[in-house]
Amino acid sequence: MSNSGCRVLGAGCWVLCLVLGASAEVLGAVQGAGMPGAGAAQTPQTPQPAERITFQQAIDRATMNNPTVAVAAAGILRAEGLLRQARSATRPFVTASVTTTTLNEGVEFSGSVVTPRNQVTASLTADVPVLAAAAWARRTQAMDNKEIAELGAADTRRQVALATADAYLTILAARRNLDAVARARDTARAHFDLAHELETRGSGSRLNAIRAAQQVSTDDVLVETAGLAVYRAQEALGVLVVADGPVDTAEEPTFTLPPDAAAVSAQSTGVAASLLPFRTDLKLFSREVDAAARVVHDSSADWWPSLDAIFLPSAVYPAPFFSTARSWRFLLQANVSLFDSGLRSSLKMQRQSALDVSKANLNAALTLTSSQVRAAREAVASGERALAGVRAAAEQAQQVVSIVNVSFRAGAATNIEVIDAERSARDADTAVAVAEDTLRRARLELLMALGRFP
């Protein structure tokens, strides 16, 4: 190390200077490994996404192709099947049967066959429910269950859309952080180039160069980590949109409240009630309450009698001696349950319990919705103020870096001051990325709370 470089550190650091001067190969090895001064900045070596999609494309593809949505659609199909099954119990049934009978021997009387040894009987049974209160109630309840399944599928699509939006915003935030640390790494590399140049000319110290090299190494690791975070978020988005590989973002979405939603969010009371037509989860809970109330009300149908009209035409060949070959019967069959040991009353108690649970779920959802709207509204306002502050801080930090670098060239600032300024600028840029992501998510949460997304 040159004497001038040691003078910069002061008389108290002569021993350290001598040690560093005896270890010149340390810095040479660092430089030889391609650390600072190598020229262009390196980028993380992660797989590049095969496609870039817009925010709306991501939401549409996820809500159409995601397996979770397919499972919810299968639930609707099952509810439709149960509805048809319940409906069939209130409609006519027609069955046909053919029976062949062979006896060990026929029966004759006075030369006439009374009972033939081989006989074929064909018959039809037509059963028409005339009075079936319980079956009619089950049919209506099955219709309610189908509507609930449809609302459940809509809420599932909402949740998938929210997960997709979260992955999309995560990519944007991760890339913003990657840009910040890459910019800090480039600044640190430029500082190292200057420190190395000053050392080569004999006006700088080896300690300054090693400190600068250490900062570049630290920023290189941060760049690599940030690049991996971007790739992981891209993979997560690819899974949600059912793509064979990572998917990248093509835009920054703007979450703007429609005028009617802005008016609702400004209300101080009665927010949840006004959101029932828009929130799929509230509609689902409300419909579950109505369905459970219907089931309780229909419990009285279990006490009603049932009445069936049955028509039975039949044909026998050969005809028996004492009957005709063709005949028919018509029956009116009534059934009344007189004593069931408390079965129907216990069923009504279970149905009332299900109704109470549904009401509690709806009340909890309404309370949570009001809280979500208020919290999201305040988060948006706070996020806007915070973003303005961190952006100003980031601009000021960059100005500090520029001033300190100029001062360092002129010998009016130390190497440590330069490194501290660079770290502060990097942290400020990262804070901007975090604030931007927080504000975007707050706006998305407000749209979700108001039922305007997706």
pLDDT confidence band for 186 (50 / 70 / 90) = confident
- Selected residue with higher pLDDT from 399 and 415: 399
Q: Between 67-88 and 55-65, two packed helices, what is the crossing angle to 10 degrees?
A: 40
pLDDT digits (tens, 9 = 90+) for 73-129: 999 999 999 999 999 999 999 999 999 999 888 777 776 777 888 889 999 999 999
Contacts of 332 (CB under 8 A, 6+ apart): 130, 307, 308, 309, 310
pLDDT confidence band for 45 (50 / 70 / 90) = low
Please determine, for residue 15, whether its predicted confidence score (pLDDT) is greater than 60.
no
Please determine, for residue 44, whether its predicted confidence score (pLDDT) is greater than 80.
no
Look up residue 152 and give its two tokens.
Answer: 């459940």
Q: Residue 75 and residue 157: Cα distance in Å, rounded? A: 13
In Å, what is the CA distance from 401 to each residue of 189, 359, 428? 13, 60, 12
**Greatest Cα-to-Cα distance within the chain, rounded to the nearest angstrom:** 147
Classified by CATH at the fold level, domain 29-91+133-303+346-449 comes out as Outer membrane efflux proteins (OEP) (1.20.1600)
Q: Residue 207 and residue 415: Cα distance in Å, rounded? A: 9
What pLDDT was estimated at residue 277? Answer: 87
DSSP 238-304: HHHTT-SS-EEE---------HHHHHHHT-SSSHHHHTTTT-HHHHHHHHHHHHHHHHHHGGGGGGS
pLDDT digits (tens, 9 = 90+) for 209-227: 888 898 899 989 999 999 9
Mean pLDDT of 239-268: 84
Please determine, for residue 11, whether its predicted confidence score (pLDDT) is greater than 70.
no
Mean pLDDT of 295-300: 94
Please determine, for residue 6, whether its predicted confidence score (pLDDT) is greater than 50.
no
E strand intervals along 145-273: 247-249
pLDDT digits (tens, 9 = 90+) for 358-412: 999 999 999 999 899 989 999 999 999 999 999 999 999 999 989 988 888 887 8
**What is the distance, to the nearest Å, from the Cα of residue 64 to the centroid of all Cα atoms in its chain?**
13
Q: Residue 222 and residue 429: Cα distance in Å, rounded? A: 13
Please determine, for residue 61, whether its predicted confidence score (pLDDT) is greater than 80.
yes
pTM of the model: 0.77
